[in-house]
Amino acid sequence: MARPVATAAQRAAQRQRIRDAARALYDEHGIEAVTVRRVADQAGLAQGTIYKYFRNHVDLVRSLWLEPIQQAGDVVEKIAASVSDPAQRLRAILTYYRDFVIENPDVHRGILLFVRGPSHWEPDPQPLDALPLYRNLRLTLEELHDAGQLVGGEPDRVAELLWAAMHGSLGLAINSDIYEVTPGAALSGRMLEFLLQAILPAGVPDPAPTTKDHRTHANTS
């Protein structure tokens, strides 16, 4: 008799069971402990079962960061909805992104600093607007552009450049620890001020007081 096909709910539950096992290993032993074999043992499953739910080891490890990334996206949405002035909103969103990365370095490494090898699977690229960070940066920049408060450039391109600049300033210290690079927290703070002064002709507003109120507790370090 053929084995019944698992329902979508059953597959989701099994995938979550595997993620929970990986998270338990990570919390107790660190990222090096999260191997397919050890996760399978922790979950009480055969190694082959893991590959029914995750493409490979990299896919499994990256799944650990889904929850904190989703939480961070929710915070960005709340900031965007609560800060009415677009210039202050821009600062608030970028400041939150900076704080989140500093407080969650493993998420930053796992999602944005991982470099795939030639043998790794190729992901399906997602539209940038699927990211709350980029989408709200773009919408805020469009508002500034329409009000004549943006120095130059199309809002979608400026949004991507802002994200890239902040990402680079935060990642430089992590990837260049053999050099006397300015620590990421200080360097990214200077980068933030540099970027705001470069794109806002009317000057840089004071930090929005609501920024700290939206801090998330998604810390996984």
Question: 9-54 and 66-214: same fold?
Answer: no
Burial of 178-212, coded b for 16+ CB within 10 Å and e otherwise, reads eeeeeebeebbbebbeebbeebbeeebbeebeebe
pTM of the model: 0.76
> Mean pLDDT in each 10-residue stretch from start to end of the chain (221 residues)?
76 93 88 89 95 87 82 96 95 95 79 59 76 96 94 92 91 73 88 92 56 49 42
Residue 170 three-state SS: helix
Q: Is 25 exposed, middle or buried (0-12, 13-18, 19+ CB in 10 A)?
A: buried
The CATH superfamily label for domain 66-214 reads Tetracycline Repressor, domain 2 (1.10.357.10)
Angle at 215 between CA 214 and CA 221, to 5 degrees: 160
What CATH class does 9-54 carry?
Answer: mainly alpha
Structure-block tokens of residue 196: 């705001």
**Amino acid letter, residue 63:** S
pLDDT score, position 152: 79
pLDDT score, position 147: 92
Cα–Cα distance, 188 to 96 (Å, whole number): 12
Sequence spans of domains, the chain: 9-54, 66-214
> Residue holding tokens 């260049």?
176
